[in-house]
Structure formats: structure tokens, C-alpha cells
């Protein structure tokens, strides 16, 4: 490779550094004698992470990664786990389909990680879970909420609630607080997260006596939603539920306002990124809208306050749900290794499965028989261009 070609590689994309640093650390670790049988046989414990550090959901991946890194550094500063330091090896899947499986295969076969942390988006967690399950390497997803993630097998865990709960939370909010009787749905049919959350919302809303008056579809690369929005407008809904990721939500709501749709839009955790409110007119369009998520920096538990301060000192920003869950995923993994008295993947798996009342920055959680966290959700309102804490909903 010529020097000019090397330049953009090294200096153009900061996230590439991570891979490089990870690879160098791993190479050093292999050289110091862990070798192909690997695992935690040296004086470090390799932990894998796959994340969308670039591409369409980069805001998710970076945030989650920042939280994970903060936890790993804290654990190491306090002496590590079982007398060993954790080494985080991170792979970027570029928010692309197919890349998560490749990333996780590398982490398992090349880096000999004892466990894998990731991802935010359910579709990519499901992809990776198939590989983690095959090799029986425990995976802890920080924030993928679709039920299918942990259904991939007994090695797959998460530190977040699942969408049957999240869907019900928003269905009750729409009927109770917004007094909506008729709701329109706009669903990303290519994302398991979107399809699942729409279904669970619908079940909850209909069970509570409400009616779904319109149901429209889109896919990941769509940028023009006017046809779908016009059809929804004609059905006269009191609110519109859009269980999608932030990038498209902003476009959808702005186009809706142009079409004269004034009712509130509501959504789930996929809305949560500062990018949701960026760009001319975005804040105004989303004023008075609501979404459910996992965490708010305004929640007043001592543990979450302490985390908000540490995160701000390290990353110069307020943490969001992905950051808090990324942090909890790494802390839970370390806790499971301590309880197992071992970093052996099989023993760590058993300890993860036995997690009861773990005290995370996102709240107390117990992993149920399906390896999903039982815990509360929060609802945030968009007011004057900010995410404002509204309420906590217990399961
Ligand atoms: N829950 C979403 C999914 O499963 C991802 C997400 C989590 C987005 C938290 C934002 C905040 O795909």
C-alpha cells in the first residue's frame, strides 16, 4: 500500500483506529503466549464487542461503545476481574447486514474472546447470535429488544427489556395519557425491531379498546414517505406510532407536518439519538412527540447520577440509553465472571443465566428463564428541542 493510500486509512476515519488498536493488542496478546487455544489463559481476559461505529446507525454504535469502554476502564482501574485485566476488542459492522456475523467470527476465532458484547439494533444482534450460539460463546446484547435475539439459544443474553413490554408501555400511554382512540402505524418492514414493536403495540392498543385505523410500510433506504402519510392522514388518527430508527423518523415527521398532519407521533427506543432533532425544522416538527426508552440522565437514582457524572467527565456529553446499557452490559459480564470464579465461556454462561437483582445504572434487573432482563422503562417527551423525562413504567 502506498503512503497516500495509507493516509485516509489512518487519519480519515477515527473508528479505524479502534480496529487497529484492537488488532495490535490482540496480536501482542497472542505473541505473549495465549495462542490458538486462547481464552483467559494469559494475564488478560479478551472480551469482544461488535458495534455500528460507522454507517446509518453510527450514533447508536458510538454511544453504546462509549458506555462499554467506560465500564471496562473502570473495572480495570479497580484491579480487573479475577486478578486479570479485561482487553476489549472492537469490530465495526458499519451498520451493514451480513457484517455482524463476519465480525463475531473474527472475534471468536482470531481473538479468542471469552464473551461478546453487542449490538444495539435487533437485526444485527440476531445475526451475531447465531454464530455466538454455534460456538457457545456467551453474547450480551446491551439494547436489542426484539424477542428473537435471545431465542437464538441459551448462550444469548441481554440487559434490556423486550418489545412485548415496550409495545404495551406505549399502547397504554397512547390510550391513557394521550387519550388516543385511533392510531396509525408506519413500519419499517425490513427491520425485525420495527415489525416486532408494531405488532406488540397493536396487540396492547387493541386489547385496551383502541383501533388501528391505518397501517403503512417503508424500508431502510426510503426517503419519501408522503404516499404513506397521506393514506394515514385520510384515516383520521389521534396519534401515529412509528417504531423506527432515528434517521428516518425525523424525515417522516417533517414530511407529515408539511402535509398538515398535526397529531403527535410516538415511538420506541429507536428514536433516541441527538440526531433525531438535528437539521432545520426538526425540533419544531417533533415538539410534543413521545417515545419509550431505557434510561434518562434526569432519573434520580444515586447510581445513575454517579454514572452521568463519570460519563460526562470521560466523554464530555450526557449519556443516553445506549451508553447506559453499553455500560451495564460490560458490568454484568464482569460480575458474572466474578460469580463464576472463572472466565471460561461455559461457566460465565451459567453465571449470566443465574443473574438476579443486578444493580445497573439503568435500574435493577433480573434475567428471566429466557435470558431477558425484567426491569422498568421510561417515557421521554420532546419539549423545546430537548428530551424531557416524563415517567417510569414498571413491568
Ligand atoms: N431496541 C432497538 C432494537 O432492538 C435498538 C435501540 C436500543 C435503539 C436503545 C435505541 C436505544 O433494534
**Tens-digit pLDDT profile for residues 248-284:** 999 999 999 999 999 999 999 999 999 999 999 999 9
Q: For residue 114, what pLDDT is reported?
A: 98
Q: For residue 10, what pLDDT is reported?
A: 40
Task: Please report the sign of the dihedral spanned by the C-alpha atoms of residue 310, residue 312, residue 316, residue 320.
Answer: positive
pLDDT in tens, 26-80: 444 433 333 333 466 789 999 999 999 999 999 999 999 999 999 999 999 999 9
Q: For residue 30, what pLDDT is reported?
A: 36
CA torsion angle for 70, 72, 74, 77 (degrees, to 10)?
Answer: -140
273 lines ligand 1 (CB under 6 A): no
Spatial contact of 148 and 127, defined as CB atoms under 8 Å apart: no
pLDDT over 80 (residue 206): yes
| pLDDT confidence tier of residue 7, bands split at 50, 70 and 90 | very low
Mean pLDDT in the chain? 91
Where are the extended beta strands (E) located within the chain?
44-51, 85-92, 116-117, 139-141, 156-158, 182-188, 211-218, 239-241, 265-267, 290-293, 358-360, 363-367, 373-374, 377-383, 386-393
Q: Which residues contact 216 (CB under 8 A, 6 or more apart)?
A: 184, 185, 186, 187, 228, 229, 231, 232
Spatial contact of 343 and 350, defined as CB atoms under 8 Å apart: no
Q: For residue 44, what pLDDT is reported?
A: 97
Q: Which atom of ligand 1 is nearest to the CA of 191?
A: 12
144 lines ligand 1 (CB under 6 A): yes
- Cis status, amide bond into 286, omega within 30 of 0: no
pLDDT over 60 (residue 19): no
Tell me how far the alpha carbon of residue 218 is from its chain's centroid: 21
pLDDT in tens, 59-69: 999 999 999 99
216 lines ligand 1 (CB under 6 A): no
Where are the extended beta strands (E) located within 153-230?
156-158, 182-188, 211-218
CA of 322 relative to ligand 1 center, distance in Å: 8
Q: For residue 301, what pLDDT is reported?
A: 85
Q: For residue 338, what pLDDT is reported?
A: 98
- pTM for the model: 0.89
Over residues 298-313, mean pLDDT: 92
321 lines ligand 1 (CB under 6 A): yes
Q: How far apart are CA 51 and CA 124, in angstroms?
A: 9
φ/ψ (deg, to 5) at 72: -60, -45
Spatial contact of 250 and 282, defined as CB atoms under 8 Å apart: yes
44 lines ligand 1 (CB under 6 A): no
Q: For residue 348, what pLDDT is reported?
A: 98
CA torsion angle for 94, 99, 100, 101 (degrees, to 10)?
Answer: -170
Domain residue spans of the chain = 44-161+300-375, 164-293
Q: For residue 48, what pLDDT is reported?
A: 98
Q: How far apart are CA 272 and CA 367, in angstroms?
A: 24
Spatial contact of 140 and 150, defined as CB atoms under 8 Å apart: no
Query: Which of 60, 100, 148, 190 is the pocket-test mutation for ligand 1 (most atoms within 8 Å of CB)?
Result: 60
165 lines ligand 1 (CB under 6 A): no
Listed residue (69, 115, 142) closest to 329, CA to CA: 142
Burial 89-121 (b: 16+ CB within 10 A, else e): bbbbbbbeeebbbbbbbbbbebbbbbbbbbbbb
CA of 35 relative to ligand 1 center, distance in Å: 36
Name the closest-CA residue to atom 6, ligand 1.
270
pLDDT over 60 (residue 369): yes
Task: Tell me the three cell numbers of residue 214.
Answer: 391505518
Q: How far apart are CA 285 and CA 287, in angstroms?
A: 6
Q: Which atom of ligand 1 is nearest to the CA of 320?
A: 11
122 lines ligand 1 (CB under 6 A): yes
Q: How far apart are CA 298 and CA 173, in angstroms?
A: 20
Q: Which of the pair, 214 or 16, is modelled with greater confidence?
A: 214
Q: For residue 20, what pLDDT is reported?
A: 42
Listed residue (139, 113, 137) closest to 34, CA to CA: 113
Q: What's the CATH class of domain 164-293?
A: alpha beta
What topology is assigned to 44-161+300-375 in CATH? Rossmann fold (3.40.50)
Over residues 327-353, mean pLDDT: 98
Query: Which of 164, 169, 170, 193 is the pocket-test mutation for ligand 1 (most atoms within 8 Å of CB)?
Result: 193
Spatial contact of 247 and 279, defined as CB atoms under 8 Å apart: no
Exposed/middle/buried for residue 339 (C-beta within 10 Å: 0-12, 13-18, 19+): middle
Q: Could you check whether 44-161+300-375 and 164-293 share the same CATH topology?
A: yes
Q: Which atom of ligand 1 is nearest to the CA of 120?
A: 5
pLDDT over 60 (residue 183): yes
φ/ψ (deg, to 5) at 69: -65, -40
Name the closest-CA residue to atom 11, ligand 1.
269
Q: Which atom of ligand 1 is nearest to the CA of 273?
A: 10
How large a percentage of the chain has pLDDT more than 90? 87
CA of 137 relative to ligand 1 center, distance in Å: 22
CA of 371 relative to ligand 1 center, distance in Å: 17
Amino acid at each position: 500500500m502506498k503512503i497516500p493510500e495509507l493516509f485516509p486509512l489512518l487519519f480519515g476515519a477515527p473508528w479505524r483506529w479502534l480496529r487497529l488498536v484492537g488488532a495490535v493488542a490482540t496480536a501482542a496478546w497472542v505473541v505473549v503466549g495465549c495462542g490458538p487455544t486462547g481464552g483467559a489463559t494469559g494475564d488478560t481476559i479478551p472480551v469482544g464487542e461488535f458495534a455500528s461505529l460507522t454507517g446509518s446507525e453510527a450514533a447508536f454504535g458510538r454511544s453504546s461503545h462509549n458506555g462499554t469502554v467506560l465500564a471496562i476502564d473502570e473495572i480495570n482501574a479497580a484491579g480487573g476481574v479475577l486478578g486479570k485485566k479485561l482487553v476489549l476488542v472492537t469490530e465495526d459492522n458499519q451498520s451493514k447486514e451480513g457484517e455482524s456475523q463476519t465480525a463475531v467470527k473474527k472475534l471468536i476465532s482470531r481473538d479468542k474472546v471469552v464473551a461478546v458484547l453487542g449490538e444495539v439494533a435487533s437485526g444485527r444482534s440476531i445475526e451475531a447470535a447465531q454464530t455466538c450460539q454455534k460456538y457457545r460463546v456467551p453474547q450480551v446484547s446491551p439494547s436489542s429488544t426484539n424477542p428473537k435475539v435471545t431465542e437464538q439459544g441459551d448462550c444469548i443474553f441481554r440487559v434490556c427489556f423486550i418489545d412485548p413490554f415496550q409495545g404495551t408501555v406505549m399502547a397504554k400511554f397512547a390510550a391513557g395519557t394521550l387519550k388516543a382512540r385511533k392510531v396509525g402505524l408506519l413500519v419499517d418492514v425490513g427491520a425485525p425491531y420495527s415489525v416486532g414493536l408494531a405488532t406488540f403495540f397493536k396487540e396492547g392498543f387493541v386489547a385496551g379498546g383502541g383501533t388501528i385505523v391505518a397501517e403503512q410500510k417503508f424500508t431502510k433506504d426510503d426517503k419519501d414517505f408522503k404516499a404513506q402519510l397521506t393514506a394515514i392522514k385520510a384515516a383520521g388518527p389521534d396519534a401515529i406510532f412509528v417504531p423506527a430508527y432515528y434517521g428516518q423518523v425525523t424525515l417522516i415527521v417533517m414530511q407529515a407536518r408539511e402535509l398538515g398532519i398535526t397529531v403527535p407521533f410516538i415511538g420506541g427506543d429507536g428514536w433516541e439519538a441527538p440526531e433525531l432533532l438535528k437539521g432545520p425544522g426538526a425540533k419544531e416538527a417533533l415538539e410534543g412527540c413521545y417515545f419509550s426508552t431505557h434510561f434518562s440522565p434526569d432519573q434520580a437514582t444515586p447510581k445513575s447520577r454517579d454514572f452521568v457524572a463519570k460519563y460526562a467527565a470521560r466523554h464530555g456529553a450526557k449519556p443516553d440509553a445506549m451508553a447506559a446499557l453499553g455500560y451495564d452490559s460490560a458490568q454484568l459480564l464482569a460480575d458474572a465472571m466474578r460469580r463464576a470464579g472463572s472466565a471460561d465461556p461455559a461457566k460465565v454462561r451459567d453465571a449470566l443465566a443465574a443473574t438476579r437483582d443486578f444493580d445497573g445504572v439503568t435500574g435493577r434487573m433480573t434475567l428471566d428463564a429466557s435470558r431477558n432482563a425484567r426491569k422498568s422503562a421510561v417515557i421521554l417527551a420532546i419539549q423545546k428541542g430537548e428530551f424531557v423525562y416524563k415517567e417510569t413504567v414498571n413491568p
